[in-house]
Amino acid sequence: MSPVTHFLLSWAIAEGTPATSKRERLLITLGGIIPDIDGLGAIPDS
């Protein structure tokens, strides 16, 4: 999946989780896109 899809899915999951603070939602969202960080170097290389 694309990084945008990972971001949107993790954000939706974070928003749907009851009783979470803004910080917890941010951590859930970041956790969803961390696996895509290694692919960021592929964009300038192509």
- Indicate the pTM of the whole model: 0.71
Q: What is the DSSP string of 3-29?
A: HHHHHHHHHHHHHHSTT--HHHHHHHH
Q: How confident is the model at residue 22 (pLDDT cuts 50, 70, 90)?
A: very high
User: Would you say residue 45 has pLDDT above 80?
Assistant: no
- What integer best gives the mean pLDDT of the chain? 84
Q: What percent of the chain shows pLDDT beyond 70?
A: 83
User: Would you say residue 40 has pLDDT above 70?
Assistant: no
pLDDT given for residue 38 in this prediction:
75
For residue 27, with 0-12 CB atoms within 10 Å meaning exposed, 13-18 middle and 19 or more buried, which class applies? middle
